[in-house]
Structure 1
Amino acid sequence: MKLINWWPPMLGTGISLKKVSDDGRRYEVEMKMRWYNRNLVGIHYGGSLYSMCDPWYMFILINQLGSDYVVMDKGASIRYKKPGKGTLRCVFQVSKEEVQHMKEELDDVGKKDYTFLCEVKNNEGEIITEVEKVVYVRKKNFVFDEPKRSK
């Protein structure tokens, strides 16, 4: 999984996957301040802050739910709380209980959007940015309603 650090969107923004838990439910990511990821006023570029939060919940759910489910990023919103300087970190985690609850819910309803909150923090532990990620999940065998045809 650490090969993702060489993927151009990560490499080009200075984002680095630092650790993945053995069970694949927790990812730790960091981004150091570099000349190529700061904006005109000398703080982390907003696009890099979003990129730091982009794929991780989707990766966790793909890994945890297995091949009977379709998992895709659906949307996001970002709130800047403080100027981002220095090294920033974010932890992405989904508990075993949350995954089990999702499976039970999806067995019942077939598809659902799940929302996760990402908190990007500085070295002092202050929240710099909050990103709300929406991830779409459905069972592969989910049957969509057939469209009604007018006569």
Structure 2
Amino acid sequence: MRLRQLFLEKIINFYGPFVGAGVRLQKMTKDYRHARVSMKLTFYNKNYMGTQFGGSLYAMVDPWYMLMLIKNLGRDYIVWDKAATINFRKPGRGTVYADFNLTDAHLEEIQATLATQNKMDYIFKVEIKDKDGKLIADVDKVLYIRRKST
């Protein structure tokens, strides 16, 4: 199991959209409950104004909660990214970071809801910050989750 995680951690940094955007997975905990992602400002993710391109900022937060939920909920659930809203707060002028935390409370709420209904949408909040902790953008990630039919 740990070998699969190491493979995921290494190979995901070579995923085409991440390479093009400069996105790097810095850390993923063994239990898939926490991930830290960074993105340096480079010539290929810089916009006309010389700051982080908005599409790259979104790309850095795209798949993480889906992957974390798949690993933590198990094979009895289907998880898909459904929608997102990104609010740009300040131009990103250097390396930016995003942290993803999946708590017991998140999992308990999802499992309790799906015990009484077939499907649900769940919203995770993600903040993208610079090296000084200043908010660059915040994102609402909507995930579609349902139990598999038995």
Corresponding position: 1:66 with 2:68:
no
TM-score by length of 2: 0.92
1:140 and 2:148 aligned: yes
**Unmatched 5+ stretches in structure 2:** 1-7
Aligned pair partner of 1:9 in 17, 24, 41: 17
Provide the secondary structure at the position in 2 that maps to 1:39.
coil
Give the superposed CA RMSD: 1.0
- 1:145 maps to none
Secondary structure of 1:63's counterpart equals: helix
Query: How far does residue 24 in structure 1 lie from its aligned partner after superposition?
Result: 0.7
Distance in 2 (alpha carbons) for counterparts of 1:115 and 1:107: 18
| Residue 126 of structure 1: how far off its partner (Å) | 0.5
* Structure 1, unpaired ranges of 5+: 143-151
How high is the TM-score relative to the length of structure 1?
0.91
Q: Give the Cα separation in 1 of the matches to 2:80 and 2:117.
A: 17
Which aligned runs of 4 or more in structure 1 are off by greater than 4 angstroms?
none
Mapped to 2, the partners of 1:132 and 1:88 lie a distance apart of 17
Partner Cα separation in structure 2 for residue 101 and residue 83 of structure 1: 35
Match of 2:63 in 1: 55
The count of residues paired between Structure 1 and Structure 2 equals 142
Task: Give the corresponding residue for 1:126.
Answer: 134
1:37 partner letter: N
CA distance in 2, matches of 1:47, 1:97: 30
Structure index of larger Rg: 1
